[in-house]
Structure 1
Amino acid sequence: MGRRLRRLPEPAQSADGDARAADRRRAPAPVAAHRSREPREAPGGARRDRAPARGGARVSLFAGVDHVGVGVSDVDEAIRFYGDHVGFDRVLFDWTGELRAVEPYAGRVPLARVAMLESSGATPIGAGRVKLVQVLDGDGPPPVPEGQAWGEIGVCEICLHVRDVRGVHDTLVAAGGASLMAPMRADVPPAGVTLDIAYVADPWGTKLEMIEWTGLWRSLPGPARAEGVNHVAFGVAEMARSRAFYEALGFTELLFESFEFFDPMAPWYERPWYDPERL
């Protein structure tokens, strides 16, 4: 990201020794018996909403990341984790059934439970949602690929915009997550935008990045909290080709770009795969 890295200070403590507590919202209880019913948004299917045509042309309503799917081994536990500690406290639907739409690329019609979660504290800089998916048939959920690391091809992280990176990081670790990178501050090129950043893995191995874009956005006062999905990171093999593809989807503004080895991530890798001396 950049070379100007500064570890975030420890949180100030009150007279009784307690640091500022994170906002803990309870998610609504899962739907009883998980009855199969038509969800608000069909799992595994694309939305077909279109803006009114102009001059006969079809205009897409695509305006950014709507949600990201997360594979889990227990939806009930995941609803509690993401609801109580990550701020996704609204269950938009909780559906169990066959996912016929994925047959062309899955090679079968899996039976799965799917729940869509939304954050009541989402802001314009973190409006994305989380979809939890638990495969129920066959051998159950596939395991996390061995050797998976930051930057692997495909979705490699979910970024949450938060208020108080350290407070949210410590809350997620206390709730069963694993710290991957301690909270710190950085100025990212080319514009030198300041941010606070940390990484935690959820109990099922999904990497959660926490960012507070202090140079772009100021959250309302209050306790430490996550404020929705800010962005999703993809590992790619060809940067120029990938950028051209996403520019066609409307992602045309470059927020930051770095060609350096990001030192805080060094413990995630084994040499010589990501050896800064070989870059």
Structure 2
Amino acid sequence: MVILSAFIILEFYANLFEKSVGHYLKWQNHKRPQLGRMWERDRQSLIAQAQIQSIRSSLDIQEENASGISSLKQLFENVSPGFPLVVTREKFLHLYFDFPGLGSEQIISPYDLINLDSGNNWEQVFLKRFGPWVTLQFLGPQNIPVHEIFLSIDTISEVHATRSIKRGTLEESDFKQNRIFRIDEVLPVLKSLDSVTQKAVFPEPRWFLEKNYHISRVGIADIVTGEEQHLVFGIEYDTDYYTGVLFIPVALELANNIMSQIDRSDVLGLAAVQPSFEVIP
């Protein structure tokens, strides 16, 4: 009797029964049929959260797939219809500035990158391909594009053509012995060129230094390639594990000018236009 009286008093002053029922309904809410405007709003909220989580999971998987990519060329080669890729801001900038030459500027200007970065609002780059086009979307914190670039496959191929790499020696890439020079024979000529011309025929030295690549020789092909009349320069370097050659197409007139300044008595016959071939690493 005393307990019943105490319960009635608590119910009268504290609405204990109503609060208990309310808490019970709240705890069991996710198990009950969702009816009415309030339940429909909650259901839509849960669906939206699930969709956002699905998008984030998909982007995480695409980013994981791109984690092993080590060059800008490999990045674009791995993008195919139906298989997009995501790289972090840090990864994209590393690949962009790691390209041995100015070809990456055909993708996006470094000044545009500075302008984009000034807002401090991009964290990833999403790459997808549709037919002959590749789209680059710079994503913000909420995975919303803050900048977008459309590149044709032809443009990407042109970027790749400006620099290519092959393992092996200059001789193994068909460079003639009398057109292969020690690096100390070529450097004085390179140092005498203006900065724009230097970048056209030679990558930034830091590209070799940071990778611990030791340049040993430079070769100049004896056959003109391409419709625009280029000679291929081959820069041979040694790593801890192998020897490699970086190929750079150089305008014929500039290549002949460089060769004419190299003090070698056995290099007198400059390049003549011959049937072209293409160096394919």
Q: TM-score range by the shorter chain?
A: under 0.3
Q: Which has the higher strand share?
A: 1
Tell me the TM-score normalised to structure 2 length.
0.22
Larger Rg: 2
Greater RCO, 1 or 2 (C-alpha within 8 Å, sep 6+): 1
Provide TM-score, normalisation by structure 1.
Answer: 0.22
